[in-house]
Structure 1
Amino acid sequence: MSGLKFILLLACLFAPVTFGQEQGQYRSRIMLDPLGEMGRGSEMSVAELEKQISSIEDPYAKSSAGRFLARHYVQQKDYASAIAYYEEALDAAGLSDVANREMLRELAQVYLLDSNHSLAAVVLQRALNIDLVPDSRDFLLLAQAHYRMGDYVAVVVALDGIQANGLKLEVQQLHQALALYYRAGAYEQCENILKQLLKVEVDNPENWHQLASVYLQQNKQKQALDHLSLAFEKRVPFIESELLLLVDLQAVSGNPYGAAMTLQNAIAQDAVSADAVNQRKLFELWLQARERDKAKAALVTAAQISGDTELYLYLAQLQMEEEEWLPVQSTLLEACEERLQDRFVSRANLLLGVSLLKQDRAPEARRAFINATLVGGANAQAAEWLSFMDAQPATENELRRVRGPCYGSEGKREPLKKNLGEPALAVDPMTEIAAAPVASGDPVAVKTIAKMRFFYSSHSESLADLLPQVRSLAGRLNVSLVKAAGTADGSVHVLGIPGEDLRLAMPIRGSAQAKGRYRIYNAKEFRCAWKVVALDGTASSGMLEEFTRDILTSGYKATGGYRLVVKQGKPVTIELQVGIE
């Protein structure tokens, strides 16, 4: 094909287009192959055309040839060559204003592809300066160029030009303008666009929730709440974060009851996770709404899910305010199953002391209040309670560290006793009983047990809790003894030593050594009163209390120590041994 014929062909291909043709050609991205199959068929003549374009004198032919070459190099991603030929085509001034505007738009997009945003903005402004009816696409492209340069004020100015010129945007263009306005922080304009979108896309949930977000960005909480409430009534889909936003807006708008109902229903319908965070939020909302029963129910769930000590203490406080003394105690014991952080120790012991005192358990309440005074937090209040109950001053031993069910890093765990008379780990109550007047009674059997060597493990449980476990624990104890190169020399014992945890112990002979959690105890001679009882399912730790009373009424004084010897047979029996002076 000769050069002249090729140029004439190009002239036909690039004849001036009408507005309808221009809109048909436009895409958000450049048409990389505007000539279709014919363009590919003409690639062999590109080199020839490049040689001849400088000699073309006809402006129309020169502009057409330059545009063809520019589009060719766009397809090849040779943006520098494409830009040069676009400029040459524009300088030839051979095409109509409509075609030139389209070419400027294409050139601007090439600059954007080449990350030259400032020149893209300059070219787009040239397109807008052409004396034609403005095109909204040019304003959108100009806004994109300014956004990429970080000039948010210019972004807003460019987009505002659309409305200033009375132009209408298609739905896709509305979304583009919305994104640019939002990123530029022009929330009032976002509000107007979203209201337009809600008219044409009423079923699009994103429009509903974005408008609520835009209201909040403008600090229009009431409008945001009203809007989200309407969306909720219309059954617009909500994801979890959007439901929680609605709950928060109801709460800060002075409607904690409505917020709590929304959240509770959402949890019940699995629309919101029933985790500790949301349960705590539900508790706080019900509490603000003065629905204490519902608040407590949510708080119980939150505490049990999370194991958060602070939540347990909140619950105990609520229960205390309603004088539910036994539930207060149960809640605190559950909170204190593990060692507490030091910051909770004082408050937990204070609450525990109040609940125990209200149950007429003054000795245990006194110990709890003393514990509360040993750690900062509620020590002043605990001191006031001790003064109120006219308690005996704390002994030097009691002031050394926290001892009880609610203890911290410097304390020691001791469980509560099941009742006031039952001996716990420390057997001070027995000593107090021994100081009572001696009365006549049935004689008790007394004996002195020789020195013994024990292989033992310590247990912080109460005697009542430990007894049912003795059989299973004894098997492990015996296995560990064998591993420690020792030999059993009698029945398993439970040793109660004043001021110490209970010990599950096995008398031994040989050279067994301490191993792991197991230790060696060399016991001195032990003078005791003793009695054998059947372990038939009715025996409990109360049998020790009853036997101790019998010993005291017989005129003996208890030392505070005791041993329970579990003897196998049918039936299984326990020999009670209570130390006496």
Structure 2
Amino acid sequence: MIMGAFRSIVLVWALLFMPTTLLAQQAVAPAVFSALNNAQKAQQSGDLTSARNTLTAALDKAAEGSIELALIQQRLGYVAIAAEQYPQAIDWLNKALAQDRLDADVARQDRLNLAQLLAVQERYSEAARLLETERRNAPLELEQTQLLVQCYSRMGEYGKAIPLAEQVVKADAGADDVWYQLLVGMSYEQGQYARAAQWQKVLLKRHPARPEHWRQLAGLQSQAGDQRAAAATLRLAHEGGMGLTRADLDNLVALQVNAGAPWQAARLLEALLAQQLLPTDTARQERLAQLWTLARDRDRARAAWAALANGSNKPDHWLRLANIQLEEGDWSELLTTLQRAQNGASNQQRQLIRQWEGYARSAIENNS
């Protein structure tokens, strides 16, 4: 529905340059210490090739499972990030973390950055697992929560994404419209139409002059089964000069029909007619009667066809009423209606009238 509004991730890298004091505290071998410092200087000057070559040469000087190897691999990862070589960066950061020698805070930052890289590469499931682990260990920052929401939404796990997205908008009063659009869309996909309507109201409050927000709110209220609220929303939009046309309103009714909800469509059309947002002409009265019939609401369908037939005296309308009476076994009323249908009936209709009259008289005789 509205999911396409969610924008791509924008990476803001907190590149992790190791200060000399930290390296010294970790008792790094002098040769590796020098290589890391030289690579850092080269990277800062923009010479990524030199930084990469220096680090690659130092790999042979570091033992497997050592802090030296972890630091070299980590730095190679961030050099790859700077070069926008994200698959290589993912590989190097994974190797560095696998050594399990980095300081806890440093390793956490690496995992969070790795999650961003994985999301950029559309590896949403892996990114989500990393973020979930970090979230269990300590609360995520707002930006990281936003990233986890994006991952869940791209994976179609809306049940997990919605509560987190709600946290995002509650934590940031100035959250971009896209977050509310995302909440509307995900709630809609979950079939939570009333919840979607509540978030759509926020968008409407922010941009009351946009007709599409009024249409979308009315549509969601209709999907939620609140046809009176939908009609009231459309009336407010109409009175506010939002430029909603009769076609917009008819399309909203058609939306319910296409969704396989003729009863909801009939209730909405009835409300729109009552609000005088649509003219109560013959065509729409017929549409309403057809919708009640399709919804198998016989009482309302019967009343609608009777009102039409009495107003138009058309045999088509009398026969639609007669069909309901036939199904319900109202034989005496059926005979009266069939008599009214005679006037102006075609030959084919007269044949049907005679056939149904026979059913009615036979039923009455059998019951007497």
Q: In which range does the TM-score fall when normalised by the shorter chain?
A: 0.5 to 0.7
Match of 1:60 in 2: 33
Among 293, 302, 306, which residue is 1:321 paired with?
306
| C-alpha contact (below 8 Å) 1:155/1:181 kept by paired residues | no
Deviation for aligned residue 1:163: 1.1
Separation in 1, partners of 2:289, 2:191: 39
For residues 125-274 of structure 1, the aligned pairs below 5 Å read 125-126=97-98, 130-134=102-106, 137-147=109-119, 151-169=123-141, 171-204=142-175, 205-221=177-193, 223-225=195-197, 227-228=198-199, 231=202, 235-237=205-207, 242-271=213-242, 273-274=244-245
Separation in 1, partners of 2:56, 2:276: 75
* Structure 1 residues 218 and 146: alpha-carbon distance in aligned structure 2, compared to 1, 3 A threshold: same
Comparing 235-244 and 178-187, the one that deviates more: 235-244
For structure 2, list consecutive stretches of 5 or more residues without a partner in the other structure. Answer: 1-10, 17-29, 257-263, 291-300, 321-336, 358-368
Higher helix proportion (structure 1 or 2): 2
Q: Does 1:288 align with 2:257?
A: no
Separation in 1, partners of 2:59, 2:164: 36
Separation in 2, partners of 1:292, 1:156: 45
Separation in 2, partners of 1:138, 1:65: 21
| C-alpha contact (below 8 Å) 1:182/1:190 kept by paired residues | yes
Larger radius of gyration: 1
Deviation for aligned residue 1:158: 0.9
- TM-score, normalising length from structure 2? 0.57
* Structure 1 residues 289 and 215: alpha-carbon distance in aligned structure 2, compared to 1, 3 A threshold: closer
For residues 391-540 of structure 1, the aligned pairs below 5 Å read none
Deviation for aligned residue 1:140: 3.4
- What residue identity is the alignment partner of 1:322? A
| C-alpha contact (below 8 Å) 2:145/2:168 kept by paired residues | yes
Deviation for aligned residue 1:195: 3.0
Equivalenced residue count is 293
Higher strand proportion (structure 1 or 2): 1
Match of 2:366 in 1: none
* Structure 1 residues 267 and 140: alpha-carbon distance in aligned structure 2, compared to 1, 3 A threshold: farther
| C-alpha contact (below 8 Å) 1:59/1:92 kept by paired residues | yes
CA RMSD of aligned residues (A): 5.1
| C-alpha contact (below 8 Å) 1:72/1:82 kept by paired residues | no
Separation in 2, partners of 1:148, 1:176: 10
* Structure 1 residues 385 and 245: alpha-carbon distance in aligned structure 2, compared to 1, 3 A threshold: same
| C-alpha contact (below 8 Å) 2:231/2:275 kept by paired residues | no
Q: Please give the secondary structure, in 2, of the residue aligned with 1:133.
A: helix
Where relative contact order (Cα < 8 A, 6+ residues apart) is larger, the structure is 2
Separation in 2, partners of 1:270, 1:138: 53
Superposed CA deviations along residues 54-109 of structure 1, whole A, max 9, x for unmatched, are: xxx8543333223434555656xx6xx6543333356667x999976872551351
| C-alpha contact (below 8 Å) 1:124/1:142 kept by paired residues | no
Deviation for aligned residue 1:162: 2.5
| C-alpha contact (below 8 Å) 1:143/1:154 kept by paired residues | yes
Deviation for aligned residue 1:156: 1.4
| C-alpha contact (below 8 Å) 1:251/1:259 kept by paired residues | yes
Superposed CA deviations along residues 430-467 of structure 1, whole A, max 9, x for unmatched, are: xxxxxxxxxxxxxxxxxxxxxxxxxxxxxxxxxxxxxx
Match of 2:55 in 1: 86
| C-alpha contact (below 8 Å) 1:178/1:190 kept by paired residues | yes
| C-alpha contact (below 8 Å) 1:146/1:155 kept by paired residues | yes
* Structure 1 residues 315 and 187: alpha-carbon distance in aligned structure 2, compared to 1, 3 A threshold: closer
* Structure 1 residues 363 and 282: alpha-carbon distance in aligned structure 2, compared to 1, 3 A threshold: closer
Q: Please give the secondary structure, in 2, of the residue aligned with 1:130.
A: coil
Separation in 1, partners of 2:137, 2:93: 19
Match of 2:250 in 1: 279
- What residue identity is the alignment partner of 2:131? L
Deviation for aligned residue 1:166: 0.8
- What residue identity is the alignment partner of 2:226? N
Separation in 2, partners of 1:275, 1:123: 63
Separation in 2, partners of 1:242, 1:152: 30
* Structure 1 residues 241 and 273: alpha-carbon distance in aligned structure 2, compared to 1, 3 A threshold: same
* Structure 1 residues 59 and 172: alpha-carbon distance in aligned structure 2, compared to 1, 3 A threshold: closer
Q: Please give the secondary structure, in 2, of the residue aligned with 1:235.
A: helix
Q: Please give the secondary structure, in 2, of the residue aligned with 1:365.
A: coil
Q: Does 1:28 align with 2:13?
A: yes
Among 316, 319, 337, which residue is 1:350 paired with?
316
- What residue identity is the alignment partner of 1:60? F
Match of 1:45 in 2: none
Separation in 2, partners of 1:326, 1:219: 41
- What residue identity is the alignment partner of 1:68? K
* Structure 1 residues 167 and 292: alpha-carbon distance in aligned structure 2, compared to 1, 3 A threshold: closer
* Structure 1 residues 353 and 168: alpha-carbon distance in aligned structure 2, compared to 1, 3 A threshold: closer
- TM-score, normalising length from structure 1? 0.39
| C-alpha contact (below 8 Å) 1:260/1:282 kept by paired residues | no
Deviation for aligned residue 1:160: 1.0
* Structure 1 residues 382 and 139: alpha-carbon distance in aligned structure 2, compared to 1, 3 A threshold: farther
Superposed CA deviations along residues 182-220 of structure 1, whole A, max 9, x for unmatched, are: 223343443343233223322434433433433444454
| C-alpha contact (below 8 Å) 1:282/1:295 kept by paired residues | no
| C-alpha contact (below 8 Å) 2:169/2:179 kept by paired residues | yes
| C-alpha contact (below 8 Å) 2:231/2:272 kept by paired residues | no
| C-alpha contact (below 8 Å) 1:112/1:145 kept by paired residues | no
Separation in 2, partners of 1:247, 1:84: 61
| C-alpha contact (below 8 Å) 1:140/1:177 kept by paired residues | no
- What residue identity is the alignment partner of 1:235? K
| C-alpha contact (below 8 Å) 1:229/1:246 kept by paired residues | yes
Separation in 1, partners of 2:12, 2:73: 14
* Structure 1 residues 272 and 208: alpha-carbon distance in aligned structure 2, compared to 1, 3 A threshold: farther
* Structure 1 residues 298 and 127: alpha-carbon distance in aligned structure 2, compared to 1, 3 A threshold: farther
Separation in 1, partners of 2:344, 2:68: 98
| C-alpha contact (below 8 Å) 2:246/2:278 kept by paired residues | no
* Structure 1 residues 62 and 229: alpha-carbon distance in aligned structure 2, compared to 1, 3 A threshold: closer
Superposed CA deviations along residues 305-329 of structure 1, whole A, max 9, x for unmatched, are: xxxxx86852797985324766687
